[in-house]
């Protein structure tokens, strides 16, 4: 029995080339915009660096070391001399622990600014996560019709986007609930329901169980989430199925041809690893190409001005460089994402012709 997961690799490459080439700037830019929202763009957006021991700066372990000359402050003048200083200056010396020269208004404003920035980042992350559900259908519709109209497809699939969002939320809650139930069962059955029994020895003893449970939950969640994205979303787009009805059709097909879907699962992982390597290499090249002119320009502006205007100008140039890098990264992902999605839809249609979301694409590339 032929494995469609093997045979359809070349067809997926041909389908990708037929859609994206000859090169059209508008198509690539719109595709890059959509791919960015489904996780295909934005190199470095998920890298969060933690700064340790920030609060210890200037204290033990700060400048001067634990016992060095900068580790302690000693008052050499008598208290009478300090008392004779002008009012404000004497107040600064007589009240240790109060930062000198920093009005409360500035501290309060800085605190509000920090909270505002954090709130903005959270809101943008939430908006990104919500929009990704709608962009799945924009991308799929574009691949089915071999042309892309972002606003039109977005408005046509608002309902589908909402259903996919709710399904993904429910999926996450179900898996979280399963994890909590298993954790509760372990706590009461293996540890007697006593918090005092939770310690290093008990955690080490149960570590094997934790690893197995986590692996099973993570793999099963990934399969359901991934199959929903690459199989159910095309059924919703092409045949107007709902999430549950699409899954009902897909599950019937899985039961009738389990080897074909297992083969797809295996080869899709292999292909994603290969695509990830290509993406990483091209991403590094893009980073170097963008960082050299924009980073050099930012440093040159700062060194030339060496004032607040220089800092602002360097920041603006750096921000522009970041935006360019995000755009280039999304463009890199366009053919890679297109190939993986076409591959999944080709396999789905070959397994069950009644669920084929791209019959015209299939017939055209195979006729050639």
Mean pLDDT on 195-211: 76
Query: Residue 345 — very low, low, confident or very high, per pLDDT cuts 50/70/90?
Result: very high
Dist. CA 275–CA 39, nearest whole Å: 14
Percentage of the chain beyond pLDDT 90 is 61
- Which tens digits make up the pLDDT trace of 288-331? 999 999 989 988 888 888 888 888 888 999 999 999 999 999 99
- Which tens digits make up the pLDDT trace of 114-123? 888 899 999 9
Residues 351 and 357: beta-carbon distance below 8 Å: no
Which of 43-52, 58-67, 239-248 is most confident?
239-248
Dist. CA 226–CA 77, nearest whole Å: 71
pLDDT at 48: 32
Mean pLDDT on 125-150: 95
Check pLDDT > 90 for residue 149.
Answer: yes
Residue with tokens 């020895």: 201
For the chain, give the mean pLDDT.
83
Dist. CA 319–CA 325, nearest whole Å: 10
Identify which of 314, 309, 325, 365 has the alpha carbon closest to the alpha carbon of residue 342: 365
Dist. CA 34–CA 26, nearest whole Å: 12
Query: Residue 64 — very low, low, confident or very high, per pLDDT cuts 50/70/90?
Result: very low
pLDDT at 246: 96
């Amino acid at each position: 029995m032929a494995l469609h997961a093997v045979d359809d690799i070349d067809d997926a490459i041909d389908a990708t080339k037929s859609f994206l080439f000859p090169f059209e700037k508008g198509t690539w830019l719109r595709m890059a915009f959509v791919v960015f929202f489904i996780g295909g763009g934005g190199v470095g957006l998920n890298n969060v660096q933690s700064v340790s021991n920030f609060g210890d700066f200037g204290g033990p372990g700060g400048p001067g070391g634990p016992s060095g000359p900068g580790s302690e402050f000693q008052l050499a003048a008598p208290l009478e001399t300090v008392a004779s200083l002008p009012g404000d200056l004497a107040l600064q010396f007589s009240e240790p622990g109060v930062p000198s020269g920093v009005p409360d208004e500035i501290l309060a404003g800085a605190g509000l600014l920090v909270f505002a920035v954090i709130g903005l980042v959270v809101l943008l992350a939430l908006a990104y996560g919500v929009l990704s559900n709608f962009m799945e259908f924009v991308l799929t519709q574009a691949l089915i019709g071999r042309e892309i109209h972002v606003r039109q497809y977005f408005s046509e699939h608002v309902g589908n986007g909402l259903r996919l969002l709710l399904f993904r939320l429910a999926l996450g809650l179900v898996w979280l609930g399963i994890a909590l139930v298993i954790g509760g069962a372990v706590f009461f059955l293996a540890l007697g329901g006593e918090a005092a029994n939770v310690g290093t020895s008990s955690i080490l003893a149960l570590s094997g169980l934790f690893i197995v449970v986590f692996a099973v939950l993570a793999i099963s969640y990934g399969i359901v989430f991934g199959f929903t994205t690459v199989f159910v979303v095309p059924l919703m787009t092409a045949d107007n199925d709902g999430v549950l009805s699409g899954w009902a059709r897909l599950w019937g097909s899985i039961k009738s041809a389990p080897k074909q879907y297992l083969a797809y699962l295996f080869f899709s992982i292999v292909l994603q690893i290969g695509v990830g390597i290509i993406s990483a290499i091209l991403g590094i090249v893009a980073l170097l190409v963008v960082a050299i002119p924009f980073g050099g320009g930012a440093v040159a502006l700062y060194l030339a001005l060496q004032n607040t205007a220089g800092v602002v100008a360097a920041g603006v140039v750096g921000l522009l460089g970041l935006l360019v890098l995000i755009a280039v990264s999304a463009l890199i992902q366009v053919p890679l994402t297109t190939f993986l999605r076409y591959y999944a839809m080709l396999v789905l249609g070959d397994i069950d012709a009644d669920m084929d979301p791209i019959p015209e694409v299939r017939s055209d590339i195979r006729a050639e």
